Each structure stands twice: as C-alpha cells, then as structure tokens.
Amino acid sequence: MRQHLIELIRFSTYAELRAERSRSYLGLVWWVAEPAMMMGAFWLVFDVILKTGGPDYLPFLLVGLTLWQWMKSCITHGGYAIWGNLGLIRQVRIPVLVFPLVQIFADTIKFFYIFALLLVVLWVAGFPPNITYLALPAVFVVTLLFSAGGGFLVSAVVPLIPDLRFVIEQILTMVMFLSGVVFALDAVPPPLQEWFALNPVVTLLDATRGILMHAQWPDWLALLKVSLISVVVCAIGIGVVLRLSPRYPKLAS
Amino acid sequence: MNQPLIELENVGVAFSAQRRVGSGKFWALEDVSLRLRQGERLGIIGRNGAGKSTLLRVIAGILEPDRGSMRRRTLSCQLLSLNVGFTPYLSGRDNAILSGLMIGLRQRDIVSRLPAIQEFSELGDFFDQPIATYSSGMLMRLGFSVAMQAEPDVLLIDEVLAVGDAEFQEKSGSALRERMRQGHTVVLVSHDETQIAALCDRLVWIEDGKSICEGSRDEVFAAYHRQLVLASEAP
C-alpha cells in the first residue's frame, strides 16, 4: 500500500512537470522567463524610477523573488490541487493528500532548477560560493515545511469555498510586500520593524540572502522558531484535510 | 467463503442540496441493505435517479455512509471508470501508467502490460503521441484498455460495458463479459435488463434510495416487473 502510494506520487510528479513543459509553446523557458520579467518590473519601479533600491538591489531582488516564487507556488498550486481534482476524487479511492503533495514536489523540483541558475548569476555578479552555503539545506527544509503547511491548509478549504481563491491571491500579494521580497525592511519605521520580524517569510528571506550575498550564518534561533511554526501549520493543514476528506467526493467541481 | 465480503445495513448517504451555507440535505440513498459474497455477480436495478450509482460508489469506498453501517473485509474494490486521471499533454503510454497507478496497480505491473494495452487499444504509433491529438474514439479505446487492467477483489461496473464504434463495442463488451465469467466478484449497474439477466445471478432492486428487495435473479425480476405493470395501470 505504502509502496504503491510512493509510486503514484512519484509518477504523478513526473507527469505534472512533463505536462507543464509541453503545455506552452516555449515550455521550460517560462520557468525562468516569468520570474525574470517580474524582476524587471520591480527593478524598473523601485530602482530606476523611485531610486529606493539601495546597493546590490538586483541580486537582493533576484534572491527574494526566487524564494518567494517557490513558496507562493507551493501554497497556490498545492492549495488548489484537491479542488482541481474533485472529478478524480469522485471516481477513485486515493488519499486526497496525494494531490497537494504532488504539486508541492513538482514546484520544489522546479525551484531547484531555477535556484541553480540563480547561483550561476550570483557568482558571475561577484557573490562567490562560501562556507555558509552549508546552512542552505536547513533553510530550504524549513521553507518547504512552511510552504507545504500553507498549501495543505488552503487545499483543505478551497474545495468547500472555491471563491476563497480570489482572496488568497490578494493575501499572498500583500504578504509579499510585507515580507521584504521587493524592498528592504530597513526602510520601515523602527517601531513597525519588530512586528515585521515576526513574519516567518522575513526570517527565511533574511537567512537565504545572508548566506548567498554576505556569507553570513543564519540566525539559528529565529530559524528554529520558524521551523516550529511550520511543523504546527503542517500538522493543522494535514489534520484538516484528513478530517474533511469524506466530504470531498460529494462536492461538485 | 460464505462470510459476506461486504455488508451494508440501512445505509444512507446525504449530499448538500447546493453550495450554500446552511442549505438543506438531500438523501441520495436512504435505506439500503445488501450482502455481497465471494464470487457473486450482483446486479443493481432500478429506475433513473434511484441511487444506483451512488450505491456503487459507497461499495467502492469512495463515499462513506452518513448513517447505517457498512462492514467490509480488507479488500480492494475498484469502480471500472474510463480515462481516470488522463492528462491531455502526456502520451498515451504515460497516461496508461498514470491511470494504472490511480486504479491501484503497481508500476511494474502496469509497465509489463503496456504492450497488451497498446495492442488492445489499436493505437499503433499514436500510443506515444500526446492524447490531446486523439479522436474521441481513440481516447475511449485507450481508456477502456487501461481500465480493463484493474484487478481488484471486487470489480464494480457502471454501465460502460461497451464503448467506441460498433466493432470496438463488440470487442470491449466481450472482453468484459469474459472477465465477469472468470469468477471474479462483480457488482454491475445497468438499465439493460437483458445484460443484467445474462451476467448476474443475484439482484438488488433500488427505488428512491431504498432497497426494495434482494434475492435471486428471477425472484427480483418478477417482483420488479409486477411493480412496473402496476405502476403503468395506475391512473
């Protein structure tokens, strides 16, 4: 049974990536072109026009957007996975957690390709590899846990209230701006900075940027806190999905 | 051997009437009892909207009863459905593997049967093309060939005995009848009385979500027809 589930998840992930590749005319190119275009827009607004970018704005933005894109994809793609597969859920008996998991794995594999490219860009731009790279796996594991938890939570409720999708897109955009993805939080007035620092996304971005751009070890205590939050979010998400799973086959898609 | 594989007692299943907060429930199944034993070929008859397909999904373990009880031994039940999990941009081959995994087969089993699937579906070189390029007939042939590979302990069939053009209908119909004769435990839902009569030895008759009677084929058919005659004579 478990072996079978592993095979199912593995092949579905492969199928998802493969289908995505052949779905569009340029296929894999979009994996890179899409974030690159987004980066161009922010660079134009914040650096060229408003001149608020600060030093090393492009690499700062590049790292931030790459990591954020991964988190956001896990939350939205994973989050819409059960809803999108209701037709299938009505036909066959498959543990519903498979659907968000497959999306999250597919997005994670995609992220690793994009990240490899990001590293090359950074090296060329004058940010060479350094010893703190050793901390990257830990940061990534926490990031994955956090995003997966968000994805599970969203995936549990969207089938019941599909209209939530519109709200979720807006919330994620807001979180992106509140998390220092596109501008440094130093620009935020000091009393507010403490509040901003409670945001797990900020901790994860700071850790990644510190490693890649400044050869700085992450703030382990903050990372530990985020990982605890992530585990809790994951557990709640999985719990809600399992709890609601008898209802999904009864829903119209 | 004679211990029932699956036993339903006064089972009911409710759906919410519409996607609104606080909307009422409607009971697609109200009170159904039945027993399924090893090697039995059980037919479910009843009019449109009687709840036959819902019942089949309860037996398959897809829907959980909202009331009543269901006892089942550890076994795999599979609803024979076509094109499960098919993805337009993947080749027929990849779709066959994906679909096979979804209907409960192990990857090595489905891979070893790929030549047979390609052969039975008569797709030839199209087997390695994305299924988005297939005609609806080709798609159905692939879907049927894959669905036929499932080997559950209990096979559940919802009126898809024959698909495709006349020639393939003949072929798919006979392949399926062959499966049913091999002594598998089967539950079949159909409107077609001749088909049910030819393939099933026991019947359950469902009306408005309730099981009216369960028994041998001839018994249940006799009762069913009596009622139909009565209904047509009523003013």
Q: What is the pLDDT of residues A126-167, one digit of tens each?
A: 999 999 999 999 999 999 999 999 999 999 999 999 999 999
Chain B residues with CB under 8 Å of A19 CB are 87-90
Residue A184 contacts residue A64 (beta carbons within 8 Å): no
| Window from A107-121, A178-192, B22-36 with minimum mean pLDDT | A178-192
| A133 touching B (Cβ < 8 Å) | no
Rounded to an integer, the average pLDDT of A194-222 is: 91
Q: Under an 8 Å CB criterion, which residues of B touch A?
A: 15-16, 19, 57, 60-64, 77-79, 81, 84-85, 87-90, 94, 97-98, 101-104, 106-107, 130
Rounded to an integer, the average pLDDT of B45-69 is: 88
Q: Is the pLDDT of residue A204 over 90?
A: yes
Per DSSP, A131 falls in state G
Sign of the C-alpha dihedral computed for residues A229, A166, A172 and A134 taken in this order: positive
Chain A residues with CB under 8 Å of B57 CB are 90, 249
Record the tokens describing residue B121, joined without a space. Answer: 């579906």
Residue A45 contacts residue A51 (beta carbons within 8 Å): no
- pLDDT level of residue B18 (50, 70, 90 thresholds): low
pLDDT confidence of residue B162: 64
Q: Is the pLDDT of residue A75 over 90?
A: yes
Rounded to an integer, the average pLDDT of A98-109 is: 96
Nearest to A59 by CA among A74, A45, A42: A42
Rounded to an integer, the average pLDDT of B7-28 is: 78
Considering only the beta carbons, identify the residue of B85, B89, B101 that sits closest to A23.
B89
**Distance set, CA A8 to CA A88, A102, B110, B143 (Å):** 14, 9, 12, 18
How far is Cα B86 from Cα B102, in angstroms, rounded to an integer? 10
The share of chain A scoring above pLDDT 70, in percent, equals 98
Chain B residues with CB under 8 Å of A95 CB are none
Beta partners for residue B210, in sequence order: B31, B207
pLDDT confidence of residue A19: 87
8 Å CB contact of A15 and B87: yes
| A2 touching B (Cβ < 8 Å) | no
Rounded to an integer, the average pLDDT of B79-105 is: 90
8 Å CB contact of B101 and A4: yes
Rounded to an integer, the average pLDDT of B114-124 is: 92
| A12 touching B (Cβ < 8 Å) | yes
Residues present in chain A in total: 253
Per DSSP, A43 falls in state I
Considering only the beta carbons, identify the residue of B79, B101, B130 that sits closest to A7.
B101
| A87 touching B (Cβ < 8 Å) | no
Chain B residues with CB under 8 Å of A88 CB are 84-85, 102
pLDDT confidence of residue A54: 75
- pLDDT level of residue A205 (50, 70, 90 thresholds): very high
Q: Is the pLDDT of residue A10 over 80?
A: yes
Each residue of B60-73: pLDDT tens digit?
889 999 998 998 88
Phi, psi of B69, rounded to the nearest 5 degrees: -130, 150
Beta partners for residue A53, in sequence order: none
The share of chain B scoring above pLDDT 90, in percent, equals 26
8 Å CB contact of A93 and B89: no
Name the closest residue on chain A to residue B86, using Cα atoms: A88
Q: Is the pLDDT of residue A196 over 90?
A: no
Q: Is the pLDDT of residue B55 over 80?
A: yes
| A13 touching B (Cβ < 8 Å) | no
Rounded to an integer, the average pLDDT of B2-14 is: 87
Phi, psi of B220, rounded to the nearest 5 degrees: -70, -40
Q: To probe the interface with A, which of B55, B98, B105 has the most A CB atoms within 10 Å? A: B98
More confident residue, B197 or A130: A130
pLDDT confidence of residue B2: 67
What is the 3-class SS of chain B, one letter each residue? CCCCCEEEEEEEEEEECCCCCCCCEEEEEEEEEEEECCCCEEEEECCCCCCHHHHHHHHCCCCCCCEEEEEECCCCEEEECCCCCCCCCCEHHHHHHHHHHHCCCCHHHHHHCHHHHHHHHCCHHHHHCEHHHCCHHHHHHHHHHHHCCCCCCEEEEECCCCCCCHHHHHHHHHHHHHHHHCCCEEEEECCCHHHHHHHCCEEEEEECCEEEEEEEHHHHHHHHHHHHHHHHHCC
How far is Cα B24 from Cα B169, in angstroms, rounded to an integer? 42
Average pLDDT over chain A reads: 90
Q: Is the pLDDT of residue A105 over 90?
A: yes
8 Å CB contact of A93 and B19: no
Beta partners for residue B213, in sequence order: B205
ipTM: 0.86
More confident residue, A130 or B20: A130
Q: Is the pLDDT of residue A24 over 80?
A: no
